[in-house]
Amino acid sequence: MSKDRYDTEEAKQVTFIVTKDCQLACKYCYLVGKNSNETMSFDIAKKAVDLVLSENTNEDSVIWDFMGGEPFLEIDLIEKICDYIKSELCRRNHPWLKSYMINITTNGLNYHQNKVQDFIAKNHCHLNISITIDGTPSKHNINRVYKGNGHGSYDDVVRNIPLWLEQFPNVGTKVTVSSEDLPFIKESVLHLYGLGIKIVNINCVFENVWKEGDDKILEKQLIALADEIIDNGYYEEYQCSFFNENIGGPLDCKLDNRNWCGAGKMLAVDAKGLFYPCSRFAKYSLRNKEPWIIGDIENGIDKNKLRPFLSLQRCAQSKQECIDCEVARGCGWCQAENYDAADTDTIYQRSTAICKMHKARVHANNYYWNRLYRKLNQEEKS
């Protein structure tokens, strides 16, 4: 099956929080409760798999997602879970037998280890792995530091990038932008291109960390990046998610009133066997609120606790100024951050911490596409 199919809403996503431990203490990380005490057992994972596979499903495909902390700290457990999933899919003659994907996002530090490489070789045709690297050593090492000594992790990650690209050439990296590292955006994206990474997925954190004037820095950096990409022809082979033809412009809630993310349609399970509407509703992801538990491996899913998510719409949770915004298209949110930042225990109060950053992105995005199309038209005429 083509991997493209897993980008659609037809795929069910099941996330195993296999560990809450990590070698790094990234300064922008939303996982505020990381620890070395909560590691999933195989018995918990097995019961979660059994429950998922025993339910009637309308989805054509499934994504088995493994996260931490750093998931590759538990590579033996992940391999055992995947072996069980495959054997059960076969034993049950499940519709997902030939239509599943294993997804892992890693900090890349353990990627070269023999156990990880053996796992990759064993599962490669159904495997998607993304390594997170933030850009230049300067940008990466501002935030992605070791938890023990605070040293930057760039050198230990970048050494594994060639092997990763050889094995997963069409997978992108994920770059996170925070207030402190805004001045490094342009050079970081170009640096990642230089490493051979052709798809750079980049986004601003949704939390309220932004300072006065950050939007101006972002816009300036993105315009400078746009010039580099266009002048040097990077647009022919490389992608940067900050530039997207579909963002900006108003939205009509009658035509597009969908929720931004898939919270409530996903399923996450932790080391205690508790289920959540997505991993960010687990306790270790929340600063202010209690976890939103929707069931457990013994009793299954409580559909009533999922009900609020099933009726989520853009207009139901947005301020009027967001609904009427002239550049609303492409302005996103994290449902769990909405919940965590809300005045009450609701998921219907949209956080607008990134409002100015989105508008800055739209300004730079318009500049990029206007410049690019002028260049392409001029080349056609010549």
Helix (H, G, I), strand (E, B) or coil at 84: helix
Q: What percent of the chain has pLDDT over 70?
A: 97
331 shares a domain with 341? yes
Domain assignment present for residue 95? The answer is no
DSSP per-residue codes, 244-306? -TT-SS---TTT----SS-TTTSEEE-TT-EEESSGGGSGGG-SSS-----EETTTEE-HHHH
Gyration radius of the chain's alpha carbons = 21
Domain assignment present for residue 367? The answer is yes
pLDDT at 7: 43
Task: Give residue for tokens 């929707």.
Answer: 294
If you average pLDDT over residues 39-58, what whole number do you get? 95
Summarised one tens digit per residue, pLDDT across range 291-350 is 999 999 999 999 999 999 988 999 999 999 999 999 999 999 999 999 999 999 999 999
Domain housing 278: 267-351
In the predicted structure, residue 79 carries a pLDDT above the cut 90? yes
pLDDT at 5: 41
pLDDT at 9: 52
pLDDT at 301: 95
Helix (H, G, I), strand (E, B) or coil at 66: strand
304 shares a domain with 343? yes
DSSP per-residue codes, 146-183? BTTT--B-HHHHHTTHHHHHHH-TTPPEEEEE-GGGGG
Domain assignment present for residue 326? The answer is yes
The residues, ordered by sequence, that sit 6+ positions from 242 with a Cβ below 8 Å of its Cβ are 202, 222, 225, 361, 364, 365
187 shares a domain with 287? no
For the chain, give the mean pLDDT. 95
pLDDT at 57: 81
In the predicted structure, residue 163 carries a pLDDT above the cut 70? yes
End-to-end CA distance of the chain: 42
Which of 75-84, 91-100, 354-363, 373-382 has the lowest average pLDDT? 373-382
The tokens describing 314, both together, are 């853009």
Domain count, the chain: 2
Domain assignment present for residue 77? The answer is no
pLDDT at 321: 95
235 shares a domain with 141? yes
* pTM: predicted TM-score of the whole model, two decimal places: 0.94
